[in-house]
Chains A and B, each alone.
Chain A
Amino acid sequence: MATDSLPPSAPPRTSPFLTPGSHSSASSLSILHLRRDQHTPVILQPSSSPSDGYIEGPVTNTRFGSFPHSTLINQPWGSQIRASEVDTGSRGRKGWEGKGKKRKRGSDEIADEVRPETEEEVEGTRKAIKTSATGFVHILSPTPELWTSSLPHRTQVVYTPDYSYILHRLRARPGSVIIEAGAGSGSFTHAAARAVFDGYPALSIQDEGIQTNASAEPALPGKQNGKVYSFEFHEQRCTALQSEIKDHGLEGIVELTHRDVCTEGFTISNSPPIHASAIFLDLPAPWLALKHLTRRIRRKSLDPSANPEPTTPLTPNPVLHPSLPIHICTFSPCIEQVTRTISTLRSHGWLDISMVELSAKKIETRRERVGLQEEGLRGVNASAANVEEAVERLREVEGRTRWFHEMEARKEKEQEQERDGAEAKKDGEPDDMVKGEMEKENDTVNGKEKEKYTSKASRLASIASRLPTRKLYKEGRLVHRPEPELKMHTSYLVFAIFPREWSDEDEKEAERVWGGREAADRRGGVEEGGELGGSGGGRKEEKRMSKRQRRKEAKRRKDADGGKVEVDGEKTDVESRGN
């Protein structure tokens, strides 16, 4: 990977995934689109960085040509970039420095043609790069989709249809906090980061000296930016993903921890509570992690051997958001895992449990051309397009056969006659006349037949010659069908919801504020009667009164009670203005 040679300078300040800007830039990830479904992620490096022996500076070689990074940097996203002439041959060898020079002297002409300014090895030379005659790529800003299709696979990957549906069901939105366990290759990590992103955390940005503004600054206490807490128990994968996160500028948004969540849980020591509202478990045994996701936990005792005393009070779990419903998704390929997970979810009190599987496919479209005019062309069906064409071709074949037989018969006759002629030579002249007539007849027949029945070779030639004038892109029937290789099964998705904790006291309080059953009873009716049990309901009623109504009300009271209530009336007015 190009990431290895990234200079140890500052990490990218912002993520090209989230705020790509309008142009590609140095030290930042971009994706080279080679062909449909074939992408190469490249971290563009400035010419000054180690170039691996290329005189053009860092170069990315693809099967469609070589691309010095200087031709890729600062291009508008989506640009088509031409390949450049790069000498990839000599630099890879051992001791390139010496041998390459020697060789170059031997083949000066070619070398000069390829790189006219070889002599000036320093900075300035690198801009003079010759464009190649053929080959191109498109340079695209990275998206989680492109990354998913091009990332280095370390594990089974969560693909786009799955992760988009999961994030949709998990209600991952800008500002959400999501836990992902089993980060794997990082496909879901990137998609989740995009879904929850709502600004870079202030700290890292200030470090970089970028002008910050209100949206990027969690200045409001208690308000956290959207964040992905990611866990991976495989150390190597974790390290690889961590460096990708850094290279992709996602450091403030994704927090990766190396840990087995099934045994150690999700709590991160020495950091603020996670308060996640969405959880994604891509683990071999997700049910083992669920015990760490209850609303209340017993505080861990320092001595691991001692059982937590039953008297220890349960405290709210810092991993889960205290007031939001928690949405969970587990991702398991086998049905046995699903049944076990669901049974554990039920026993832990998760609600709305459902399981689905997704089947996604891509559809190819093409022009399907059928007909005899396609004979000899590649990749088309050269059978008759319809009955008429078939009959015509059959007639032609039939005719040719008949002609052949006739010719045979004629030849035989000729030979016979010749024999006869030889026998009857003595008889005199008339034979010559007959022979001449026969030949004449033969010629005419041949000519006519030749006209009518062309040989296969000449037919193919005429088909080929007609080809350039045909508009193949609009001929034939437009058809569609699924791509040749389908993903029949990815995994089963189990979803569940953990509602907010709701105690009897909470219920009583809500009843008091909003008027529970008792209040309703006291009211007796539905719509009539403004009196409501509880201050909240009363406040509400008051609010709904318009200014005019209030004035009227005040006047009514004034009329009824005389001077004393005037104060009241004024007071109401003041209040209403305050509103």
Chain B
Amino acid sequence: MRDLIRPDTFVGLRLPSDAIQVVRVVPNTSISIGKYGSFYANHIIGRPYHLTFEVLDKSDTSPAQSGLRIVSASELYADLRDGEASTPSESNDLGVAEGNSGVEYELVGEDGEVVLRTNRAIIDDSSTQTMTMAQIEALKAECTGSGRDLIQKILGSHIALDQKTAFALAKYTLRKTKKYLRSFTVLPVDVPLLAHWILTDKEPIKIMELREETLALMGSLLNLHCTAIHSEPNGHGSGIGSGRWLLIDETSGLLAASTAEKIGVLNQPKALVPSIVNDEHEQANSDADDTATASHSIAQPFKPPRIHSSSSLAYLNTITVIHANSQPNLSLLKYFEFDHANPSPSHPLCRHLKTLSWLQLLAPEDDLAYTEPDTFPNETIQSWKSGRRGNYYRKRRRWERIKSIVDETRAGGFDGLMIATGMDLATVLHHTVPLLRGGAQVVIYSPTVEPLVEISDYYSLGRRTAFITDPPEPGSMPTEDFPLDPTLLLAATIHTVKCRPWQVLPGRTHPLMTGRGSSEGYIFTATRVLPAEGKIEARGNFKRRRVNDGNGSRGSEIVEQTLEPIGRELGEGDGTNIS
């Protein structure tokens, strides 16, 4: 998947301006990269990712299409070498096509020794650049190459260039390079790239402004991982499978994609060259699942054998998405060749991604799709026209799929719950937390901290104590005082993480001057636990204080295992023998 650029896949193009453009590489078409020009798709198909291509002069051979040239690493770093002890370059071992243009930024190279120059003599004036906008435009029009000579000319016509400090000069060069150099780097479209691209270039609101580092941390905190088949002596035995993850995803499918990537069901096994396939394993895996689900579904009547592959659902490593509208919004999955409305049966997500609506979860009887379509005896079906018969089978198939998803979801036992939604979290958790197995993690993302603060207050120690001391009537939940059962989640914590990028250049290392503000991104985590039956009292509080408090001890001190040292106050145990 990540080795060579395949036809008809999405790729990311990083432009000199650091902007990213995601395009589909359709063979025999031309791809435009805006002001940097355009190129022919077949020129990058079959090449490796992460290479930088330079758009070549279109005049020399072909009038219509410009060619591409691979830029070698040594060339990319040519203007950075000053100030560095030049180490013997091993980049020749790379074996990439050596560049032949030989254009160098000599002005930068010469300036290495002038370190102490300052900007005190420089007069801020736009007249230092002698070329006018019109002239540059004209040059651009006639210049057909990669743009290096244009940049060179612009630099050359700057009359105060020799007054610039090395830093200012580097900045100026970089700025002009970003503006006029016609090159791009091809990147594979995976979840990190997609998250980065949508956040910075496309529509951050679509993914609830979810930052990359936050997304990464969420996966870890959720304990997301691939589950392999193993014998499970104490297993549920209910046949609901393992490695099941429950999602409430309003990030257009980014959470789903990230989850799928981390459990290994995101990418379609497809080979450009048949020898290198990363996903053969997945194929084998799904075959195994097939047998598992097949044996499971044999009992169901009127199931024509040909339906099997498309309707059977995976047993391991599955994602269940609960959605608020009648259809889930998982549009970002299209970048991974998966269309939820019309899934291709060969895509692993077709079997590993299960979706259901809140209505189907909470009141399946009210949902038409959950009610079983009428059944007919085999002879009747045989007598039908093929269209009607197909329709009949399709309906049954759909019903079977929905019913199996709904029943399985309602049976619970999920390994983790990940939420990113604008809905009221208390109501979401009220219905989903009971579906988790003990020890499962709950991870909630919010662009702002307030909703998470509110939730963690519902699980506060004081509230839990009050709940245990005086539990509300069973069945009366949620009450005003207890919107959620505080005993079901342990150690509710809010995390936030922020990534600060740096510029590292010889002698010019510092954090980037500007960055993305707006939402910081917060993560709520907690562990689903199974409270012990009956009243339970904590240890670790001073008896003395309880007496002092006299009229009923402070709530938080009964259940809380308080921060005070207990040591010898306890009659037994020294409390220090932690193995």
Q: Quick one: CB contact mask for A456-473 with B, threshold 8 Å, 1 for yes? A: 000000001101100111
Top 8 closest A-B pairs, CB basis?
A: A78-B438, A77-B439, A174-B264, A168-B216, A135-B539, A473-B462, A468-B552, A63-B575
Q: Quick one: CB contact mask for B436-469 with A, threshold 8 Å, 1 for yes? A: 0111110000000100011011001011011000
Instruction: Say whether A65 faces chain B, with CB atoms less than 8 Å apart.
Output: yes
**Complexed CA–CA distance, A77 and B242 (Å):** 14
Q: Quick one: CB contact mask for B516-558 with A, threshold 8 Å, 1 for yes? A: 0000001000011111100011111000000001111011100
A61 proximity list for chain B (CB < 8 A): 573-579
B68 proximity list for chain A (CB < 8 A): 517
User: Quick check: which of B233-241, B245-253, B300-308, B352-360 contacts chain A, the rest being far away?
Assistant: B233-241
User: Which chain B residues (26-78) contact chain A, with CB distance < 8 Å?
Assistant: 27-30, 40, 42-43, 45-52, 61-62, 64-65, 67-68, 70, 72-74, 76-77
Instruction: Say whether B225 faces chain A, with CB atoms less than 8 Å apart.
Output: yes
Q: Quick one: CB contact mask for A361-379 with B, threshold 8 Å, 1 for yes? A: 1111111000000000010
**Complexed CA–CA distance, A471 and B466 (Å):** 8
CB distance from A62 to the nearest CB of B (A): 6
State the main secondary structure of chain A at its contact with B: mixed
User: Quick check: which of B82-90, B366-374, B398-406 contacts chain A, the rest being far away?
Assistant: B82-90
Instruction: Say whether A576 faces chain B, with CB atoms less than 8 Å apart.
Output: no
User: Quick check: which of A384-392, A433-441, A493-501 contacts chain B, the rest being far away?
Assistant: A493-501
| Known A76-B530, A521-B65, A537-B42: A199·B221 in contact at CB below 8 Å | no
Instruction: Say whether B202 faces chain A, with CB atoms less than 8 Å apart.
Output: no
The contact of B50 among A200, A325, A335, by CB within 8 Å, is A325
CB distance from B31 to the nearest CB of A (A): 10
Contact A74 B234 (CB under 8 A): yes
Instruction: Say whether A276 faces chain B, with CB atoms less than 8 Å apart.
Output: no
Q: Quick one: CB contact mask for A498-527 with B, threshold 8 Å, 1 for yes? A: 011111100100100111111111011111
The contact of B509 among A161, A199, A339, A352, by CB within 8 Å, is A339
| Known A88-B572, A467-B551: A23·B89 in contact at CB below 8 Å | no
Instruction: Say whether B284 faces chain A, with CB atoms less than 8 Å apart.
Output: yes
User: Which chain B residues (234-278) contact chain A, with CB distance < 8 Å?
Assistant: 234-236, 242, 261-264, 276, 278
The contact of A199 among B62, B93, B281, B481, by CB within 8 Å, is B281
A471 proximity list for chain B (CB < 8 A): 466, 481
Instruction: Say whether B363 faces chain A, with CB atoms less than 8 Å apart.
Output: no
Contact A161 B579 (CB under 8 A): no
**Complexed CA–CA distance, A359 and B216 (Å):** 14
Instruction: Say whether A25 faces chain B, with CB atoms less than 8 Å apart.
Output: yes
Instruction: Say whether B20 faces chain A, with CB atoms less than 8 Å apart.
Output: no
Residue of B at shortest CB range from A533? B42
Contact A360 B554 (CB under 8 A): no
Instruction: Say whether B145 faces chain A, with CB atoms less than 8 Å apart.
Output: no
B65 proximity list for chain A (CB < 8 A): 517, 520-521, 526
Contact A14 B561 (CB under 8 A): no
Contact A540 B27 (CB under 8 A): yes
| Known A22-B234, A356-B500: A480·B453 in contact at CB below 8 Å | yes
Instruction: Say whether B491 faces chain A, with CB atoms less than 8 Å apart.
Output: yes
User: Quick check: which of A230-238, A304-312, A342-350, A421-429 contacts chain B, the rest being far away?
Assistant: A342-350
**Complexed CA–CA distance, A87 and B456 (Å):** 38
Contact B64 A525 (CB under 8 A): yes
CB distance from A387 to the nearest CB of B (A): 27
CB distance from B96 to the nearest CB of A (A): 5
User: Which chain A residues (117-149) contact chain B, with CB distance < 8 Å?
Assistant: 132-136, 138, 140-141, 143-145
B131 proximity list for chain A (CB < 8 A): none
Instruction: Say whether B106 faces chain A, with CB atoms less than 8 Å apart.
Output: no
A510 proximity list for chain B (CB < 8 A): 45-47
The contact of A173 among B29, B86, B262, B288, by CB within 8 Å, is B262
Contact A134 B229 (CB under 8 A): no
Residue of A at shortest CB range from B195? A168
- 12 inter-chain pairs at a CB distance below 8 angstroms, sorted by A residue, are A35-B561, A89-B572, A165-B212, A215-B229, A220-B280, A223-B280, A295-B95, A296-B93, A323-B3, A363-B449, A500-B48, A502-B97
The contact of A215 among B216, B285, B495, B572, by CB within 8 Å, is B285
Contact B530 A78 (CB under 8 A): yes
CB distance from A234 to the nearest CB of B (A): 25
CB distance from B432 to the nearest CB of A (A): 16
Contact B453 A478 (CB under 8 A): yes
Contact A79 B551 (CB under 8 A): no
Contact B552 A19 (CB under 8 A): no
CB distance from A538 to the nearest CB of B (A): 11
The contact of A88 among B47, B87, B574, by CB within 8 Å, is B574
Instruction: Say whether A48 faces chain B, with CB atoms less than 8 Å apart.
Output: no
**Complexed CA–CA distance, A510 and B45 (Å):** 8
The contact of A144 among B52, B220, B540, by CB within 8 Å, is B220
Contact B449 A351 (CB under 8 A): no
**Complexed CA–CA distance, A467 and B46 (Å):** 74
A14 proximity list for chain B (CB < 8 A): 230
CB distance from B126 to the nearest CB of A (A): 33
A347 proximity list for chain B (CB < 8 A): 84, 86-91
Instruction: Say whether B496 faces chain A, with CB atoms less than 8 Å apart.
Output: yes
CB distance from A75 to the nearest CB of B (A): 9
The contact of B493 among A36, A199, A350, by CB within 8 Å, is A36
The contact of B276 among A141, A174, A323, by CB within 8 Å, is A323
Contact A215 B281 (CB under 8 A): yes
Contact B497 A161 (CB under 8 A): yes
| Known A21-B232, A138-B490, A296-B93: A173·B502 in contact at CB below 8 Å | no
CB distance from A283 to the nearest CB of B (A): 18
**Complexed CA–CA distance, A486 and B527 (Å):** 23
B27 proximity list for chain A (CB < 8 A): 514, 537, 540
Residue of A at shortest CB range from B77? A346
CB distance from B398 to the nearest CB of A (A): 27
Instruction: Say whether A227 faces chain B, with CB atoms less than 8 Å apart.
Output: no
Instruction: Say whether B422 faces chain A, with CB atoms less than 8 Å apart.
Output: no
CB distance from B18 to the nearest CB of A (A): 11
Contact A472 B578 (CB under 8 A): no
**Complexed CA–CA distance, A88 and B529 (Å):** 28
